[in-house]
Amino acid sequence: DVQTAYVGAFDDVEGGKEAAAAMYDDGADVVYHAAGGAGLGVFQAAQERGRFAMGVDSDQSESDPRYANVIPASMVKRVDTAVFQAVGNVVD
């Protein structure tokens, strides 16, 4: 099953927590967020319920040691690589 939810803004920590808590309460084992600062709320909900949450943009397991135990992996975009390659393509 894939569940989706949207929060009010990227910095809506409480909204992220509420959305993730609802998913965990509905049986989700893992929540993946693409929610910027609201992802902090996702990690809080995961920790409170003994579940997992996926990080995004960087290795979020290293960004806040309080939540490292609930973040098994992060989706890393590697925007630096994409920009470098795009600039190189224009130059070449």
The full length of the chain comes to: 92
8 within domain boundaries: no
* Domain housing 60: 13-91
42 within domain boundaries: yes
pLDDT in tens, the chain (92 residues): 899 999 989 899 999 999 999 999 999 999 999 888 899 999 999 999 999 999 988 888 888 888 999 999 998 888 888 899 999 999 99
Instruction: Count structural domains, the chain.
Output: 1
According to the model, what pLDDT value does residue 46 have? 97
3 within domain boundaries: no
According to the model, what pLDDT value does residue 37 have? 86
Spatial distance between the Cα atoms of 4 and 62, rounded to a whole number of angstroms: 26
7 within domain boundaries: no
Domain containing residue 64: CATH number: 3.40.50.2300
According to the model, what pLDDT value does residue 21 have? 98
Q: What are phi and psi of 35, to 5 degrees?
A: -125, 20
Spatial distance between the Cα atoms of 48 and 9, rounded to a whole number of angstroms: 22
87 within domain boundaries: yes
75 within domain boundaries: yes
